[in-house]
Amino acid sequence: MTVYEFNVDKANSDPNAQPLDLIYKVKEYPNDYGMSTLRPSDFKAYVSRIRNSEAVAVKFFTLTCPT
């Protein structure tokens, strides 16, 4: 599953922006999260890795809440 976002600010400020320049990929499940599938057991294992590894927790936060 791939998540895309639409840049509304750019669309409003640049009337000449091309449609494909306004859409960008944000993340891809499960690859960006280090999971092999989207099964509940993989999510459970991922949550466990977040709880036990600061590096995994920081990566999760960065992917979930980009600045």
Of 13, 37, 8, residue with least CA distance to 24: 8
pLDDT at 3: 87
pLDDT higher than 70, residue 57: yes
**What distance in Å separates the CA atoms of residue 11 and residue 18, rounded to the nearest whole number?**
9
pLDDT tens digits for 8-49? 999 999 989 998 889 988 888 888 888 889 999 999 999 999
**Boundaries of domain holding 53:** 2-64
Count of structural domains, the chain: 1
